Amino acid sequence: MAPAWHWGLVVTVLVAVVGLIVWTYPRRLRSVSAGTGRLLLLLRLAVVAVLAFTMLRPSLQVIEPDSRPRVFAVVMDRTRSMEVPDAAGGKTRRAALVETVGAFRAQLEEIGENTEVRFFDFDRELVPLNLERDQAPSSETQGDQTAMGTVLEKVLEEARNQQISGVILMGDGAQRAVSPFDLDPRRVARMLGDQGLRVFTVPFGASGAGDNSLDVSVDDLLVDRVVFENKAVIVRARVRLVGAAGRDVRVRLLVEDRAGKTIGQSGLMVQPPATGRTSPIRRMSTTQDEDVRQVELSFVPTRPGEFKIAVEVEPLDGEVRQANNRRRSLISVRRGGIRVAYIDRPRPELRSVQLLRASEKIQLESHIVRPGRRVGRARLDAELFAPGRHDIYILGDVPASVLGREQLSRLAARIRDGAGLLMLGGFQAFGAGGYSATPLAELMPVAMNAAEVQGDGPIETDLHLMKDIRVIPTDSGLAHYIMRIADSGEVNRARWEALPPLEKANRLRPKNEFVDVLARDPDGNALLVATDIGTGRLIAFAGDSTFFWFQFGHREVHQRFWQQMIFWLARKEDDTDQPVWVQVEPRTFNAAAEVPVRFGARDDQGKPIDDAQFQVSVLAPGQRKVALRPRRD
């Protein structure tokens, strides 16, 4: 029973109700016959009995034993890793497994009176075996993936259909599987435990540093999908060392040599040359029986195109398994992205500029200057303003003293040679930063005065608009490439009106009527001024808080505005993408894994062609073409 209240309270209530009825009810029945009175009293007491039954909530539980036979599953690894001869007596792991099953078969069969022992082999599938009582499992190993998680999940499905009392998992204990068979076995084991099923593991193979267990491998490889020629490329890899204690291990980078090769032809994988700023090879050693190391390699691509790369751990003497010593990927080398040098102090707007790296056409190199008194003593790379080093320069909230007159003279020369300059707002930008007395003064599209220099004292607020500033494109600005953040004129204007205001801005004075004022604030103050100087271009932007646009849900507009400023400065506003594109992502994958290939077409305006028809084929090893059947997203 499970009474509604505590037992004492239930009994007290029932006794009180019965006593109240017996004591008070007969007086009310004096006007009726004795027989009728007794009947009515019994009916009242019957109601109390029903109430008592309800309050006590009695239950009846019938336990019927499950007479169905239970199943005890013995799951055995049959993958090729079980061929390694590192078991006791020099036997292969599979041979030791078969011998163990034979030795304990009789005990397994007697595990319970109503329990049936069933045997399964597994690789990436669970294969039931019909073994006679005296028949041993096969010693053959033919599986290519050890998918313990997927196999245990299938055991879990079997447990829902029949009474499985436990599982013995026999193998080398290493999960070696690729998608979609790479389910985490620990998670599935926990699910089995929740069902009351225990998994007993029986490992085979050495785990120490014996010769037969020696194995060095590349577990992972990370590299940017798109890189640029003549710029150092960083390749990161995770290297696993098993049984290599005290050994010297060499890890090297290999890059496809496509010299003289046409489309469809593969080049040899060669080690790129080392330079003063690249390291295509690393040496290491370990004192542990099993160790994992992160390795960073680098090289400089010298020509554009699609190239295979690989990270290889050179095989060691006595290493049996060498197929996992190399891991490959694919990179796209672009010809000359827009090279941008950005100089600023740490501040929130820093992130707005660094998000330019999201564009595959922009190479951003940041130079961060420490704030405070040391800012005037900051030293930048002497080659920062060398001819041909960068296409665009961005100056943030740093005074002219950071660069020095010599560097600023070189920057002015680069602008006259065709480079672009973007100066951003800040308390030490424009005239407040002392730029009126530099070679940039005659090039900038805004007027600056030597009296505007910001000293070490309080901020000169008359040089700034210290309030929320809404950016309003001018009529000419709405038609200008920089300010066109939507294809339609009305939508363009509406998007600008929807943007959050800037936190503050510098007061800019357009130098003359020949510069382009592309944006003002509601009071008519210039916010964005642009001009051409020969083949060079310059922008003066008074704002330093466009990060608010990004933070408040206008990421696409924010990115487009910044990228269009860079493209305009580099004279790339008319640069269009290829009409047909192909993308393979990820670039690194395991054998037998599914590789998604995305492709599409765009018209002359850069808009997708939704009804384009494609014929797709993949060139497999041996110059064999394999046709693919495309499907739309």
> Final residue of a domain: which of 334, 369, 403?
334
Q: Is residue 544 part of a domain?
A: yes
CATH code, 555: 3.40.50.880
pLDDT at 208 > cutoff 50: no
Q: And the tokens for 199? A: 């998994």
Asked if residue 349 and residue 223 are part of one domain, the reply reads no
pLDDT at 375 > cutoff 70: no
Confidence of residue 69 (pLDDT cuts 50, 70, 90): low
* Cis amide leading into 180 (omega within 30): yes
pLDDT for 514-534, tens place per residue? Answer: 999 999 999 999 999 999 998
pLDDT at 210 > cutoff 60: no
Confidence of residue 112 (pLDDT cuts 50, 70, 90): low
> Final residue of a domain: which of 550, 569, 588?
569
Type and span of the H or E element at 307: strand 305-313
User: Quick check: 96 and 85 in contact, CB under 8 A?
Assistant: no
| Whole-angstrom distance, CA of residue 306 vs CA of residue 257 | 11
pLDDT at 476 > cutoff 90: yes
pLDDT at 199 > cutoff 80: yes
Q: Where is pLDDT greater, at 285 or 177?
A: 285
- pTM reported for the whole predicted model: 0.50
CATH code, 157: 3.40.50.410
Q: What is the largest CA-CA distance in the chain?
A: 127
Work out the angle at residue 461's Cα, subtended by the Cα atoms of residues 529 and 396, and round it to the nearest 5 degrees: 45
Please give the pLDDT value at position 297: 95
CATH code, 276: 2.60.40.10
Q: Is residue 575 part of a domain?
A: no
Whole domain around residue 430: which residue ranges? 338-569
For 534, list phi and psi in degrees, rounded to 5: 65, -120
Confidence of residue 396 (pLDDT cuts 50, 70, 90): very high
Asked if residue 492 and residue 344 are part of one domain, the reply reads yes
Asked if residue 557 and residue 410 are part of one domain, the reply reads yes
pLDDT at 415 > cutoff 70: yes
Q: Is residue 2 part of a domain?
A: no
Asked if residue 299 and residue 246 are part of one domain, the reply reads yes
Work out the angle at residue 371's Cα, subtended by the Cα atoms of residues 368 and 376, and round it to the nearest 5 degrees: 90
Q: Where is pLDDT greater, at 321 or 463?
A: 463
Q: Is residue 65 part of a domain?
A: no
pLDDT at 455 > cutoff 60: yes
Please give the pLDDT value at position 211: 43
Q: Is residue 484 part of a domain?
A: yes
Asked if residue 494 and residue 354 are part of one domain, the reply reads yes
Q: Is residue 486 part of a domain?
A: yes
Please give the pLDDT value at position 288: 87
Please give the pLDDT value at position 65: 58
Confidence of residue 310 (pLDDT cuts 50, 70, 90): very high
Please give the pLDDT value at position 212: 45
Q: Is residue 449 part of a domain?
A: yes
Task: Count up the domains in the chain and report the number.
Answer: 5
Taking alpha carbons only, the member of 362, 328, 329 closest to residue 585 is 329
Asked if residue 392 and residue 289 are part of one domain, the reply reads no
pLDDT for 320-369, tens place per residue? Answer: 778 889 999 999 887 767 889 999 999 999 988 888 887 778 888 889 88
Confidence of residue 67 (pLDDT cuts 50, 70, 90): low
Asked if residue 498 and residue 473 are part of one domain, the reply reads yes
Q: Is residue 63 part of a domain?
A: no
| Whole-angstrom distance, CA of residue 378 vs CA of residue 396 | 14
Number of H helices, E strands in the chain: 11, 28
Mean pLDDT, the chain, integer:
84
Burial 476-510 (b: 16+ CB within 10 A, else e): ebbebebbbbeeeeeebbebbeebbbbbbbbbbeb
**What share of the chain has pLDDT > 90, as a percent?**
37
> Final residue of a domain: which of 307, 334, 361?
334
Confidence of residue 560 (pLDDT cuts 50, 70, 90): very high
Give me the mean pLDDT over the 261-283 stretch.
Answer: 86
Taking alpha carbons only, the member of 94, 96, 70, 72 closest to residue 83 is 94
